[in-house]
Amino acid sequence: MTETTTASTLPTYYLSHGGGPWPWMPNMAPAYAVLDASLKALRRELDEKPRAVLVVTAHWETEDFTFSAAERPGMIYDYYGFPPETYEITYPAPGLPSLAARAAGLLRDGGMTANIDAARGFDHGTFSLMQAIYPEAAMPIVQMSIRKDFDPALHVEAGKLLAPLRDEGVLVVGSGLSFHNLRAMGPVGRDASRAFDGWLQQALLGATGEPRASNLLDWEKAPAARHVHPREDHLMPLHAAVGAAMEEEAHLSYHQEDFFGAITASSFRFGDAPLPVS
């Protein structure tokens, strides 16, 4: 049976979260203007439907899937070379231990090992993204790790098991970056990023269900795949987001061909938004 999105079923997203603490750096605003506008549009199209956000973050790698369960998460400044004041910023959104337990239970019921971490703080794959979407920092957030083995099939399967959360007011967000080769962020990465992004759009927008998931399982066959993702940490959150919305169409929610002057990058929504954005 084909699953359809209703007003009570939230979409899932794969979002490019940008670099470091960019929302707190006014001098970076021009470079991030397109991404920032897309994230503010996301907030408007969601209306007030989510009660919490589950962020599958590229910046937390564990042996088994793990969920953060701190009631008041701290900060993890997992970036380097930024101004001193960016190591003092805070994003005081609450955690939601009950959601962490629920999500871990869904994975365990599906035969997966899942853990709870009551001390994990917010990494920049979470707090930079959420600052742009929810600057008031009132939305409860739980983080989900990716597995160290980067097994694409297991990340898709985990997403499938988490799908019931979408009917419980939980917004599932895969936080990564569709191009993540820090040594090729300028003109040297232009052609590779465009080639990979073209494949990614075709793979996601042109299919649903198992054919789309199969495309992602074979992501290494994409043009310039290993140039764009020397490590696939920033791609695995996409697999979870797709798994959680298997039968629903993908929509391009952000696209830029001059990110950092040369890079092509994209974000995607899977399923219909609660509200259209004009």
Q: Do 170 and 49 touch, CB atoms closer than 8 A?
A: no
Q: Is residue 72 part of a domain?
A: yes
Q: Is residue 233 part of a domain?
A: yes
Q: Give the residue numbers spanning the domain of 151.
A: 12-270
Q: Is residue 224 part of a domain?
A: yes
* Average pLDDT for 178-205: 87
Q: Where are the alpha helices (DSSP H) in the chain?
A: 33-46, 97-109, 124-133, 152-162, 190-205, 209-217, 225-228, 236-243
Instruction: State pLDDT tens for residues 47-86.
Output: 889 999 999 999 999 999 999 999 999 999 999 999 999 9
Q: Is residue 6 part of a domain?
A: no
**How high is the pLDDT of residue 277?**
58
- For residue 32, what is the domain's CATH number? 3.40.830.10
Q: Is residue 3 part of a domain?
A: no
Q: Do 245 and 161 touch, CB atoms closer than 8 A?
A: no
* Average pLDDT for 208-214: 96
Q: Is residue 163 part of a domain?
A: yes
Q: Considering the chain, what percentage of its residues have pLDDT values greater than 70?
A: 95
HSE-up (13 A, CA, CB side) for residue 159:
32
Give residues with Cβ within 8 angstroms of 230, minimum separation 6: 180, 181
pTM value is: 0.94
Question: What is the identity of the amino acid at 149?
Answer: D
**Domain count across the chain:** 1
Q: Is residue 4 part of a domain?
A: no
On the question of pLDDT at 153 being above 80, the answer is: yes
Q: Is residue 256 part of a domain?
A: yes
